[in-house]
Structure 1
Amino acid sequence: MDGICTLGNDRVYDQLIALFNSIETIMGKDTPICVYPYDENTNLIAAEIARRPNVTLFGDLDSIQRWDDFAKSAWDTHPTARQIWQKAGSNGYHRFGTHRRYCAFDAPFDRFLYMDADTLLMSSVDFIFDKLTDNDCVVYDFQYKDLSHIYTVDSPKLTEVFSQKRLETEIFCSGFYASKKDFFPAEKRHWLIEQLKSGEAEILYPMAPDQTLINYMMMRSGASIYNFSLQLPTEGKTGCCVTSPHFQAEENILYDRGKRLTYLHYIGVSSQLFKKVCAGENLDFPYRDIFLHYRYLHEPEKRPQFQGKPIPYKQPPSLKTKILKKLGLTR
């Protein structure tokens, strides 16, 4: 069985509802969806999932524990991750729970498409699943243009582990990728940990823990990774990030120079901002109306009605902030 999965808790309640509704709109009400719990804070989303026969909240505690243990073992091999996380204000493991998306390799789908909670589906993903017939991992993004959010680029070991060509063509964003059940059995997970222990851990980028790890896992395993953004002709490919200002909306679907998007990723828009907007605060962010359409698809009477000019979600820095930054007293 094929299905779509995501990761979440009550902090991303509004985004999850919007994602569910976009999948329902594009792929149909019976499309199987599985939500992996980021942590135990899931009361709100559990209630919402209970109202949707096609959606399940993953509850295999053994699988969750296996991947928790794997993530800890992987990061325990890193020479500087703890210090980097402490400087960033994280005690313990940074963003622990993001790796639980890897539970998709256990269940419930034979083939799955993982989508971050802050994404919206815009087109059928049948073509993604079709490519899984001949590939281990299928993606559609432009992360290959920025290696620095995948691996530690100043590590001399990086090009010892992976060739420059592979680093330019195989890396991907962990917010949207398709793969298959049982691709990482116990023996492969153990082997990967041993490679990290041998000194390869230093190439991992600690501030994006799930993203760097899934890239390492796929690439080090020799997985065949197919990226549509590298394979499609220029006129046939589309963007996917909310940071692209040129998308055009038509009947709540976005188009990139006339070509329909596959998905929209609200990367960089915080969960707190979504929450505030849904609570009625007139804060603006790119493609806000698209998000609100899907969020309130089944309850339009609850959609917030804003008055006046919206406040941009990224305010320009104040004069005081500019002065402090110039003096080196803030970042």
Structure 2
Amino acid sequence: MDGICTLANDRVYDQVIALLNSIEIILGKETPVCIYPYDDNTEKIAAAIVNRPQVQLYNDKVSMERWDNFAKMAWDTHPTAREQWQKAGSQGYHRFGTHRRYCAFDGPFDRFIYMDADTLLMGPVDKIFDKLNDYDCIVYDFQHKDITHVYNESSEQLTQVFSEEKIKTEIFCSGFYGSKKDLFDEKQRQKLIESLKTGEAEILYPMAPDQTLINYMMMRSGSSIYNLALNLPQDKKTGCCVTSPHFESRDNLLYDRDKRLTYIHYIGMSSQIFKELCEGKNITFPYRDIFLYYRYYHEPENQPQFTTKPKPYNQQPNLNQRVLKKLGLK
């Protein structure tokens, strides 16, 4: 069985509802979806999917513990991860729970597309499932242009572990990818841990723990990776990130120079922004109306109505504002 999966807890509730609605609208009501819990904070999500029989909240505790342990073992091999995490204010493991997306490798679907909670489906995914007949992992992004959020580029080991060709063509964003069940069994997981213990762990980028690890898992195991962004003809490929300002909205779908997007990724935007927007705060950001359409698709009467001037979500306070705030006058 094929399906779509995501990772979530109640902190990203509004985004999850928007994602579920986009999947339903684009692929149909019967499309099976599995939500992997980031942590135990999932009461709102559980209540919201009661009337969505096609959606399940993953509850295989053995599977989740298996991947929890794998992530801990992997990061315990890293020479400086703890130090970097502490400097960033993280106690223990940084963003622990993001790796729960790996549960898809022993989850309910034989083939799956994983989508981050801050994505929306915009188009058909047939080409991704079709390619899974020939490859282990199908991706569609441009992360290979910036490897610094995947691997430690300054590590001399990087080009010893992976060829320059693999680095140029196989690196991907962990927010959207297609893959298969049972790709990483116990033997394969242990083999990866042993490789990390030899010193290879230093190539991992600790501040994006799930992204660097899934890239390492795929690339080090020799899994075949196919990136549509590198292989589609120029007149067929599209962008996918909210940072691209040129997408056009038509009938609540996004187009990149007349080509329909497969998905839009609101990458780099805090879940707090979406929460505050849905609570009625007039925050503006690229493709906000698209998000609101999918979030309130089944409850348009609850969509916030704005009367004030919108405030950009990333607006930096100017010097006068900072001084006034510091003096307690603002």
Range of TM-score over shorter length: over 0.9
For 1:77, the aligned partner's letter is T
**What is the CA–CA distance in structure 2 between the aligned matches of 1:33 and 1:241, rounded to whole Å?**
23
**What is the CA–CA distance in structure 2 between the aligned matches of 1:108 and 1:167, rounded to whole Å?**
31
Deviations 1:46-98 (A, max 9, x none): 00111201000000000000000000000000000000000000000000000
**Equivalence for 1:318:** 318
Mapped pair 1:167 → 2:167: yes
**Equivalence for 1:205:** 205
Q: CA separation of 1:72/1:321 partners in 2, compared to 1, >3 Å: closer, same or farther?
A: farther
**What is the CA–CA distance in structure 2 between the aligned matches of 1:240 and 1:321, rounded to whole Å?**
35
**SS of equivalent to 1:236:** coil
**Equivalence for 1:109:** 109
Question: How many residue pairs end up in the alignment?
Answer: 323
- Output the TM-score relative to the length of structure 1: 0.96
**SS of equivalent to 1:36:** strand
1:1-331 aligned at under 5 Å gives the runs: 1-319=1-319
Unaligned runs of at least 5 residues, structure 1: 324-331
**SS of equivalent to 2:49:** helix
**What is the CA–CA distance in structure 2 between the aligned matches of 1:248 and 1:108, rounded to whole Å?**
36
Deviation at 1:296, TM superposition (A): 0.3
Deviation at 1:309, TM superposition (A): 1.9
Deviation at 1:320, TM superposition (A): 5.7
For 2:175, the aligned partner's letter is G
**What is the CA–CA distance in structure 2 between the aligned matches of 1:50 and 1:192, rounded to whole Å?**
38
- Identity value in percent: 70
**Equivalence for 1:326:** none
**What is the CA–CA distance in structure 2 between the aligned matches of 1:289 and 1:130, rounded to whole Å?**
32
For 2:286, the aligned partner's letter is P
Deviations 1:171-191 (A, max 9, x none): 000000010000000000000
**SS of equivalent to 1:177:** strand
Unaligned runs of at least 5 residues, structure 2: 324-330
**SS of equivalent to 2:82:** helix
Q: CA separation of 1:76/1:274 partners in 2, compared to 1, >3 Å: closer, same or farther?
A: same
**What is the CA–CA distance in structure 2 between the aligned matches of 1:315 and 1:147, rounded to whole Å?**
27
**What is the CA–CA distance in structure 2 between the aligned matches of 1:105 and 1:98, rounded to whole Å?**
14
**What is the CA–CA distance in structure 2 between the aligned matches of 1:94 and 1:41, rounded to whole Å?**
18
Deviant stretches of 4+, over 3 Å: 320-323
